Homo-oligomer: A and B are copies of this chain.
Amino acid sequence: MIKRSKQKEVILRVLRSTTSHPTVTWIYDEVRKEIPRISLGTVYRNLKLLRERGEISELNLNSAPSRFEARTDIHYHFICEKCRRVFDVDEPPDKRLKGEVDQKTGFQISSYQIEFRGVCRECRETMDKAESGEK
């Protein structure tokens, strides 16, 4: 049975307070403002529990540390390969997709993720400027 704890509550509250898809370390630093003696291991353990309970989502994007978010509904993500920021994409996902893949493969699908990669507008502008200036 899962027992409640101050740590769990604060971790969840911190994650719900942002839309920035933070890393474990960022969450750890935020939570420490309230619980200075919390350990990184506890953060990992609770994020894992919360993910298993379906209360949060974990994103594994290219290049190491996992990102987390409080949203658990299916939506797209965009990862900027320059600045590494992660954006939610406001485009309704295809409702039929899961069912079709379900049927075609015989797999029991519990969730899915769609991730776009590229360069965000801001970084593109910076790059354009740099290019015209340098040559």
Q: Which residues of A contact B (CB under 8 A)?
A: 58, 60-63, 66, 76, 78, 80-81, 87, 89-91, 94, 97-98, 100-101, 104-121, 124
Give the shortest distance, in Å, between A45 (CB) and chain B (any CB): 15
CA distance A87 to B119 in the complex (A): 28
Other CB < 8 Å A-B pairs besides A89-B105, A106-B121, A110-B118, 8 of them?
A: A60-B63, A76-B101, A78-B105, A94-B97, A107-B118, A113-B113, A113-B115, A114-B114
From B66, B104, B107, B111, A120 is in contact (CB under 8 Å) with B107
Give the shortest distance, in Å, between A100 (CB) and chain B (any CB): 6
CA distance A116 to B104 in the complex (A): 13
